[in-house]
A and B are shown apart, each in its own frame.
Chain A
């Protein structure tokens, strides 16, 4: 029987950061809790925070379940996490600059060349380009799980366009609105500076050709995208235009947007569309979402694109294994945050181990995301395990495996009252002229009893995440 670290109770005693929450929880009658939960849901719906799940059909205005029980870190716990996250974000960016320039880490034999240059996410089109301030990934979302008081592991890195930050901000807003007393009693670090810092980060990487205050836009695939709410929410909080590909065009050395007053030059594009769709002339010719000619302007320094095209090569699940190596190689430091041990099914020895122990492991597709196409061995039926085995054997290079982690739990409101549920954490590290991190992130919670899958597409929920001031 696996022991799970409970973030609130240890050997029957309440851990210090949760001390006041226990009183709060006990003082809340069931009827009030139901009322508050309904109120929260109503607020979410009225604000319009909804989440469409790809391929599921049904209600396009589905809400991600919000759990009112906050998840809490002490200032000291956070200080260490912060250092580790920033260190990792620096190393990932150093890696990206390197692999699109001289590839020193590959020449040094620390990362296999095949893994980088034959990676689908490696964009040959940007080789040789050094983006402003040497930053490829401006928003690094690092998924972290906890297994003990001091044991934190990085589950995966997201260097392209990590989503979910609007939930971090809205969860806090809603908690402050519903339970102002909690915020008076606990000294909770604010997270609402995020949009301001993001804007500053984006402005700091304006291209050289830009004189004066840069014009920043957020490029969205459009209102049918499941994260559209987040796009409009962030654009609004930063006071920048939310544009679609059709709103932009290239003329001369620059990118312009179509406004009611005529064309206006754009300097920095915070894009929330994938590389493949950015520029039909450079990448997918059938893309209707991008801007023809955008990459030419980018190459000649007329516009900055955040995150830079090609950033995805650093967050590939196979490259992930080498991130600790990157920290040592580029920064000359020891990694503060550990990786989860990972077996590459593409390697014969690893494959043998994985197939022998399939029922104990978590297996993921190398390029998959969102909890799709993964196997959680201990939670799967025999038939599911065997079906997955066939898939791995058919294409071993497409899979990696990890031990089933004993994800920590935090108290969560459930139908019967309060019960422990498994959680993870996604903080959002901002990289520009400086590296910054707001104290908090998105805590995702697996609402089904015993489930270890926290993805919203798989029935996960979200919580407000507190960092207590020291």
Chain B
């Protein structure tokens, strides 16, 4: 497979996952906005912007975080490279470039999302409920994902798509958690308070995982349980360990198919082994923020290794 083709596939997946994350953020924000909390409102929206990594860009363009502006920014704004519209447009453009590496169904899913997006952009905003926008995004993300799983050959292209999905997801989950701990919770006395628990639950909702959490753990929502669920539980589809396990699996498959071991492969295996040995107490001992920062760095490093090994075309 052409390195450039692999690169495009990789980024289709990353952008679709990123679009979904943007939509999840919006959904959580709108949920909080419905609550009577007088104090929380502004902070919550602001922290969501921080989660998307675009707080400064937003402030420059729009000023105060008003809900309508945030919807514009996270969903429609083409100046924001992480907005749903930007991500879907870029993913579809990447798909158009590598049409030959996709099945008709995968292309159809990407292209339909893009065509419908253009209709949404022409629709008066007064007719667009936020919930409709977020559900729309999740539905199309799922359709692309489903088309990939149901119709694509299980070849190297499929591996590169899955690497993209899981590297992006690992990064996004870690960032969402980091925001929770670092931004939502500036004051130590809030830890363990009712407010704290509510915010943790919000985080679970952001990952469509609050019901799953209750099924898996039951009882009180505690920081330790949630950290365990989102970091160390291999049953949770968005947990860090699940993502790293998937990354490792696909790197192993590539190494086997190509008959050459790679640095990325051994690096992923080390990360996985380390997570398997980690207990939730270790994480809190290290400090959640420090742990997550280190994880985000390691995932970024893994992404660079994948790029250098397979996507750049510069063979060493």
Q: Is A243 an interface residue (CB 8 A)?
A: yes
Q: Is B6 an interface residue (CB 8 A)?
A: yes
Partner of B258, one of A45, A46, A261: A261
Interface residues of A (CB under 8 A from B): 45-46, 48, 223, 228, 232-233, 235-236, 241-244, 246-247, 257-263
Nearest A residue to B254 via CB reads A260
CA distance A247 to B7 in the complex (A): 12
Q: In angstroms, how far is the closest chain A Cβ from the Cβ of B213?
A: 38
CA distance A236 to B111 in the complex (A): 18
Q: In angstroms, how far is the closest chain B Cβ from the Cβ of A220?
A: 10
- 20 further interface pairs, Cβ-Cβ under 8 Å (given A223-B97, A236-B100, A259-B313): A48-B99, A223-B96, A232-B99, A232-B100, A233-B99, A235-B100, A236-B99, A241-B5, A241-B100, A247-B3, A257-B2, A258-B313, A258-B315, A259-B2, A260-B1, A260-B6, A260-B156, A260-B310, A261-B1, A262-B315
Nearest 9 A/B pairs, CB to CB: A258-B313, A236-B100, A232-B99, A260-B310, A258-B3, A223-B97, A262-B315, A260-B6, A260-B1
CA distance A246 to B7 in the complex (A): 13
The 23 listed contacts between A and B (C-beta, < 8 Å) are A45-B115, A46-B108, A48-B96, A48-B111, A223-B93, A228-B96, A232-B97, A236-B99, A241-B2, A243-B4, A247-B4, A257-B2, A258-B313, A258-B315, A259-B2, A259-B313, A260-B1, A260-B3, A260-B254, A260-B310, A260-B311, A261-B258, A261-B260
Nearest B residue to A220 via CB reads B97
Give the residues from 91 to 137 in chain B that come closer than 8 angstroms, CB to CB, to chain A: 93, 96-97, 99-100, 107-108, 111-112, 115
Nearest A residue to B4 via CB reads A247
Residues of chain B within 8 A (CB-CB) of A258 are 2-4, 313-315
Do A46 and B3 touch across chains, with their CB atoms under 8 A apart?
no
Q: Is the interface of A mostly helix, strand, loop or mixed?
A: mixed
Nearest B residue to A235 via CB reads B100
CA distance A236 to B260 in the complex (A): 28
Residues of chain A within 8 A (CB-CB) of B310 are 260
Partner of A247, one of B2, B108, B115: B2
Q: In angstroms, how far is the closest chain B Cβ from the Cβ of A31?
A: 24
Partner of A260, one of B107, B115, B258: B258
CA distance A406 to B20 in the complex (A): 58
Residues of chain B within 8 A (CB-CB) of A263 are 315
Nearest A residue to B95 via CB reads A48
Give the residues from 301 to 316 in chain B that come closer than 8 angstroms, CB to CB, to chain A: 310-311, 313-315
Residues of chain A within 8 A (CB-CB) of B97 are 223, 232
Q: In angstroms, how far is the closest chain A Cβ from the Cβ of B291?
A: 33
Residues of chain A within 8 A (CB-CB) of B4 are 243-244, 246-247, 258
Residues of chain B within 8 A (CB-CB) of A260 are 1-3, 6, 156, 160, 254, 258, 310-311
Residues of chain B within 8 A (CB-CB) of A246 are 4
Q: In angstroms, how far is the closest chain B Cβ from the Cβ of A78?
A: 32
Partner of A259, one of B1, B100, B115: B1
CA distance A257 to B3 in the complex (A): 9
Residues of chain B within 8 A (CB-CB) of A261 are 1, 258, 260
Do A247 and B313 touch across chains, with their CB atoms under 8 A apart?
yes
Q: In angstroms, how far is the closest chain B Cβ from the Cβ of A363?
A: 38
Residues of chain B within 8 A (CB-CB) of A247 are 2-4, 313
Residues of chain A within 8 A (CB-CB) of B313 are 247, 258-259
Nearest A residue to B316 via CB reads A262
CA distance A396 to B3 in the complex (A): 49
Residues of chain A within 8 A (CB-CB) of B3 are 247, 258-260
Nearest A residue to B157 via CB reads A260
Residues of chain A within 8 A (CB-CB) of B258 are 260-261
Do B107 and A48 touch across chains, with their CB atoms under 8 A apart?
yes
Residues of chain A within 8 A (CB-CB) of B112 are 46
CA distance A247 to B5 in the complex (A): 10
Q: In angstroms, how far is the closest chain A Cβ from the Cβ of B243?
A: 22
Residues of chain B within 8 A (CB-CB) of A228 are 96
Q: In angstroms, how far is the closest chain A Cβ from the Cβ of B204?
A: 37
Nearest A residue to B314 via CB reads A258
CA distance A26 to B145 in the complex (A): 46
CA distance A244 to B311 in the complex (A): 15
Nearest B residue to A50 via CB reads B96
